[in-house]
């Protein structure tokens, strides 16, 4: 049996004639002595000391190989090592190691710190790499957009790269890339508008934040719902603007700040003041009607049709251009006649995007009769303000279904101050006529029967009185019936334009906000502008039948030569632009202009812009 007592390691034990320590062979001193008999005692001791030192260093090396171990693991292992190492130091008097335990702790602490620093550096490098990759991707996307679409406003006006631009700015709804704000026009009774400028990687785009300010203003939650239907039409027709998002202000103080100080609001102001709505909640639409806000697509520097006409009213040739503008309005309205009625279509609700004077596009469209037509233009039409519009998307998503949902909510039937409030009538759902209003009319009819007739009505008399009362209600609402279509109502735009040319000093644009201008009509006699316009335009104006200033009753099938609905007007405009003189003029006017692309649509599938 081996003598293990004289070995360097104190805890060595004898096992099968071998000495071991923690599962490892110990150094047998007798063998060491037999190998070094030719050497002096001092050399033997020096070698023993050197071997011990080597063992210690080997142990350090083995410990340092576990670089990614946790600090707890090191501390635990260090305790075991220090216990045994202390004994070795006491036993091996020749080996002098100053504060080995403390030194070992410092080594481990320093090593752990290096590991943590290295890991933090790797994490930082990964974050920097990720940021650079994202930044490079943003730069590549911006470069791509700049190459194919240097002007975002122009591309949006043409319906070009809409999805790409929207995605590039995260849908515009989180305000992350807003760099500036400014007021558009002045606040009206219906609300106020702020233009937002977005910039990412030096690429700019714009959006409009439209806010309400009165409970009985046109309900912006409903307008947002109409906007979701319109978003589908934006892919098919270029005359509509997308609706991006719905918000509620977090309180009246935030709304007042935006109303009174709309310039240079920060993105933090927008984020903290407005709460984005993922879904439509009609209870909230009634409760917080005055705090609603919607985000809408904007085109850079548009002008209203009113301004364009009044600027060019002395120019007799402008009427040719006006025909093509009207065709851009009434082609889609005729295609959507049974699914959409704007109900507030006047010249201030038609925006015009004007291409540079040396550029134009070819506008090509196919109608419901599969006839294809095309013309040159540098004016792109956009219809805005859908707060009173009727739409039908499906049996469950349409104006009437929304109205019935509102009527079923107790909060939307709560009295609003002194005003009676049935089905959100005083909460922005003013122009709906549904079961509740029909019931009110019926009750009023009964009072008429009791007061003036004093006898039971026949069914024929009852229907006649009811019809008269219903029509009277419609007249009071300017024939606006939001939960039903009216294919005649949107002739209002042409009727408004007619007044610009027909009557002296009539600057009224057909909007209620400017109704004070109505008093400027001195006499209803034809002006010099009317006298100077082409005959075809005079005939077009004379054919229009429009009973009211703000609306007219629906006439589906005319009995005379009058134009009474949008489908008829579209067909009449089509006849005029096919006149040889107008076609020649359209070709000649763009002889020295550069064709930048062709805009094609068929009214059923997504439109296409082909750059040239």
8 A C-beta contact, residue 249 and residue 211: yes
- Residues 287-295: what's their mean pLDDT? 95
Q: Does the pLDDT value for residue 93 go beyond 50?
A: no
Task: Tell me if 453 is assigned to some domain.
Answer: yes
Task: Tell me if 468 is assigned to some domain.
Answer: yes
3-state secondary structure of 39: coil
- Residues 446-472: what's their mean pLDDT? 62
Q: What is the per-residue pLDDT for 149?
A: 85
Q: What is the per-residue pLDDT for 393?
A: 97
Q: Does the pLDDT value for residue 54 go beyond 90?
A: no
- Residues 328-355: what's their mean pLDDT? 96
Query: pLDDT tens across 367-402, in order?
Result: 988 999 999 999 999 999 999 999 999 999 999 999
- Residues 4-32: what's their mean pLDDT? 51
Q: What is the per-residue pLDDT for 114?
A: 74
pLDDT grade, residue 117 (50/70/90)? confident
Which range has the worst mean pLDDT, 104-118, 403-417, 537-551?
Answer: 104-118
Q: What is the per-residue pLDDT for 502?
A: 80
Task: Tell me if 441 is assigned to some domain.
Answer: yes
Q: What is the per-residue pLDDT for 18?
A: 55
Q: What is the per-residue pLDDT for 16?
A: 54
Percent of the chain whose predicted confidence (pLDDT) is above 90: 49
Cβ atoms within 10 Å, residue 456: 8
- Residues 139-164: what's their mean pLDDT? 84
Q: What is the per-residue pLDDT for 450?
A: 60
Among 191, 474, 491, 241, residue whose Cα is nearest residue 341? 491
Per the prediction, the chain carries an average pLDDT of 79
Long-range contacts of 97-102 (CB under 8 A, 24+ apart): 97/56, 100/56
Q: What is the per-residue pLDDT for 30?
A: 42
pLDDT grade, residue 608 (50/70/90)? very high
What residues does 340 pair with on adjacent strands?
Answer: 391
Backbone angles phi, psi at 383, to 5 degrees: -95, 135
Q: Does the pLDDT value for residue 445 go beyond 80?
A: no
Of the two residues 336 and 140, the one the predictor is more confident about is 336
Query: pLDDT tens across 505-558, in order?
Result: 444 444 444 444 444 443 455 677 788 889 999 999 999 999 888 888 888 777
Three-state SS string across 153-169, please?
HHHHHCCCCHHHHHHHC
Among 34, 35, 69, 29, residue whose Cα is nearest residue 49? 29
Task: Tell me if 280 is assigned to some domain.
Answer: no
- Residues 33-44: what's their mean pLDDT? 45
Task: Tell me if 444 is assigned to some domain.
Answer: yes
Q: What is the per-residue pLDDT for 419?
A: 62
Which range has the worst mean pLDDT, 137-151, 312-326, 363-377?
Answer: 137-151
Q: What is the per-residue pLDDT for 423?
A: 87
Among 48, 32, 54, residue whose Cα is nearest residue 92? 48
- Residues 77-93: what's their mean pLDDT? 48
Q: What is the per-residue pLDDT for 33?
A: 43
Q: What is the per-residue pLDDT for 334?
A: 96
8 A C-beta contact, residue 377 and residue 350: no
Distance CA 540, CA 497 (A): 11
**Helix locations, 488-590, DSSP H:** 492-502, 528-532, 535-543, 566-577, 580-589
Of the two residues 110 and 277, the one the predictor is more confident about is 277
Q: Does the pLDDT value for residue 361 go beyond 70?
A: yes
Burial class (CB in 10 A: 0-12, 13-18, 19+), 77: middle
- Which domain range does residue 446 map to? 434-475
Q: Does the pLDDT value for residue 59 go beyond 60?
A: no
Of the two residues 208 and 27, the one the predictor is more confident about is 208
DSSP code per residue over 177-218: TEEEEEEEEEEETTEEEEEEEEEETTEEEEEEEEE--STTSP
Q: How many domains does the chain have?
A: 1
Q: Does the pLDDT value for residue 439 go beyond 80?
A: no
Q: Does the pLDDT value for residue 343 go beyond 60?
A: yes
Distance CA 209, CA 216 (A): 19
Percent of the chain whose predicted confidence (pLDDT) is above 70: 69
Of the two residues 200 and 520, the one the predictor is more confident about is 200
pLDDT grade, residue 456 (50/70/90)? low
Q: Does the pLDDT value for residue 134 go beyond 60?
A: no
Distance CA 187, CA 546 (A): 30
- Residues 154-161: what's their mean pLDDT? 90
């Amino acid at each position: 049996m081996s003598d293990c007592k004289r070995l360097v390691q104190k805890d060595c034990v004898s096992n099968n004639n071998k000495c071991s320590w923690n599962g490892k062979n110990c150094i047998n001193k007798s063998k060491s002595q037999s190998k070094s008999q030719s050497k002096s005692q001092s050399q033997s001791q020096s070698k023993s000391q050197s071997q011990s030192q080597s063992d210690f260093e080997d142990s350090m090396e083995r410990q340092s190989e576990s670089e990614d171990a946790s600090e707890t693991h090191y501390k635990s292992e260090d305790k075991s090592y220090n216990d045994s190492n202390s004994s070795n130091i006491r036993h091996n008097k020749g080996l002098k190691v100053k504060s080995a335990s403390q030194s070992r702790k410092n080594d481990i602490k320093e090593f752990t710190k290096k590991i943590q620093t290295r890991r933090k550096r790797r994490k930082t490098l990964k974050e920097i790499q990720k940021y650079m990759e994202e930044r490079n991707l943003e730069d590549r996307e911006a470069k791509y957009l700049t190459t194919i679409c240097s002007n975002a406003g122009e591309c949006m006006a043409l319906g070009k790269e809409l999805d790409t631009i929207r995605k590039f700015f995260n849908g515009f709804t989180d305000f992350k890339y807003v760099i500036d704000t400014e007021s558009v026009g002045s606040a009206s009774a219906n609300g106020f508008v702020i233009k937002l400028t977005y910039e990412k990687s030096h690429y700019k785009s714009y959006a409009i934040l439209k806010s309400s300010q009165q409970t009985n203003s046109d309900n912006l939650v409903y307008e947002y719902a109409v906007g979701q239907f319109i978003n589908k039409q934006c892919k098919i027709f270029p005359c509509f603007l997308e609706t991006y998002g719905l918000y509620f202000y977090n309180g009246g103080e935030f709304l007042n700040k935006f109303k009174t100080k709309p310039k240079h609001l920060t993105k933090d102001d927008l984020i903290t003041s407005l709460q984005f709505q993922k879904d439509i909640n009609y209870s909230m639409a009634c409760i917080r009607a005055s705090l609603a806000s919607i985000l809408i697509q904007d085109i850079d520097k548009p002008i209203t049709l009113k301004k364009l006409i009044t600027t060019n009213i002395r120019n007799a040739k402008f009427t040719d251009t006006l025909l093509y503008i009207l065709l851009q309005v009434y082609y889609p309205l005729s295609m959507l006649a049974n699914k959409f009625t704007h109900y507030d279509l006047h010249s201030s609700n038609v925006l015009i995007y004007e291409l540079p004077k040396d550029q134009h596009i070819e506008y090509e469209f196919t109608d419901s009769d599969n006839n294809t037509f095309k013309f040159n233009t540098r004016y792109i039409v956009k219809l805005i303000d859908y707060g009173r519009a009727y739409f039908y998307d499906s049996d469950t998503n349409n104006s009437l279904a929304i109205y019935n949902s509102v009527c079923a909510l107790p909060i939307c039937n709560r009295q609003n101050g002194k005003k009676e409030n049935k089905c959100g009538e005083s909460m922005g759902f003013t122009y709906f006529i549904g079961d509740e209003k029909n019931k009110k009319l019926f009750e009023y009819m009964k009072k008429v029967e009791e007061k003036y007739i004093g006898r039971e009505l026949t069914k024929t008399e009852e229907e006649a009185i009811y019809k008269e009362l219903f029509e009277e209600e419609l007249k009071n609402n300017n024939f606006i019936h939001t939960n039903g279509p009216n294919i005649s109502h949107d002739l209002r735009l042409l009727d408004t334009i007619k007044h610009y040319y027909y009557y002296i000093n009539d600057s009224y644009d057909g909007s209620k906000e400017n109704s004070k201008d109505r008093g400027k009509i001195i006499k209803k006699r034809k002006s010099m502008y009317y006298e100077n316009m082409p005959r075809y335009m005079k005939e077009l104006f004379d054919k229009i039948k429009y009973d009211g200033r703000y609306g007219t009753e629906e006439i589906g099938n005319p009995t005379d030569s009058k134009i009474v609905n949008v489908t008829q007007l579209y067909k009449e405009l089509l006849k005029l632009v096919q006149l040889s003189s107008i076609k020649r003029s359209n070709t000649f006017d763009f002889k020295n202009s550069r064709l930048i692309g062709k805009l094609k649509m068929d009214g059923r599938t997504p439109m296409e812009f082909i750059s040239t």
